[in-house]
Amino acid sequence: MLTLHRAALVLPDPADPAAPSLPDGAVLVRGDRIEAVGPYRELAAAHPPARLRDWGAAVLTPGLRNPYGHRLLERDYHPDPREEVGVEPVADGLVGSVDDARCGASARRGLQRMLGFGVTAVAGPFERAAVRTAVARSGLVVLPGALDAGGAGGAGDAGGGPLDPLAVLPLAAAVHGRVAAGGRADFVVFPAVGEGFAAPLPGGCLAAVLGGRLVYRRR
């Protein structure tokens, strides 16, 4: 099945200052792959059977990477809403815990919240089996080793970090990969900030697509 994702602005590669942006652009997805990226009207005319997901006045970009995955998923505890203690991670709440079920459930909640911030790739390493399973089932790309905030190797999560990469990184440094024909269909859609839809608004995305599947949509 073909799906056409339309947005007011498509940024195929924010990390490349020379990469063009596409006002009223679209991404054509077949299965788990991107088939084409271009102006919406051209792609819609060339592929009339494609199902349309129109995201309106939004910015479509590659997904983000979270360099603090090891700490956020293996050390910090993500509360169950039924616990009525809020939704913010509890720092070091899993340290010393040997309850695999609790660790796995916490990781699943943390991963879901990451998706809500547009994260499609997360840095490890992940030593707990329950956490590795949760990450594998989430569909997020696992980046080898920990990353520092600038992207170089190192124990970047040693001091902790936010679930939202855009809280500490500019978009150009936060994105993972690019939106290009032939690549895996991993991308996110953000509300736009300012006139001209020049940048995504930090604080959460509207939708996240992993491997061509819509895995998160803001309610």
For domain 2-63+177-217, give the CATH superfamily.
Answer: Urease, subunit C, domain 1 (2.30.40.10)
Average pLDDT, the chain: 90
Domain boundaries, the chain: 2-63+177-217, 64-167
Contacts of 175 by beta carbon, 8 Å cutoff, 6+ apart: 13, 14, 15, 61, 62, 63, 64, 65
Instruction: Name the pLDDT band for 160 (thresholds 50, 70, 90).
Output: low
* pLDDT on residue 198: 63
Q: Is residue 127 within 8 Å of residue 147, measured between CB atoms?
A: no
Nearest 10 degrees: CA dihedral of 203, 209, 215, 217?
50
Alpha carbons 126 and 217: distance in angstroms, whole number: 27
Nearest 10 degrees: CA dihedral of 205, 209, 214, 218?
0
Percent of the chain at pLDDT > 90 equals 81
Alpha carbons 202 and 192: distance in angstroms, whole number: 9
Whole-prediction pTM: 0.89
Q: Write out the two tokens for 136.
A: 């594998």
Q: Is residue 125 within 8 Å of residue 146, measured between CB atoms?
A: yes
* pLDDT on residue 87: 80
Q: Is residue 123 within 8 Å of residue 67, measured between CB atoms?
A: yes
Q: Render pLDDT for 112-152 as a digit per residue (tens, 0 to 9).
A: 999 999 999 999 999 999 999 999 999 999 998 655 544 43
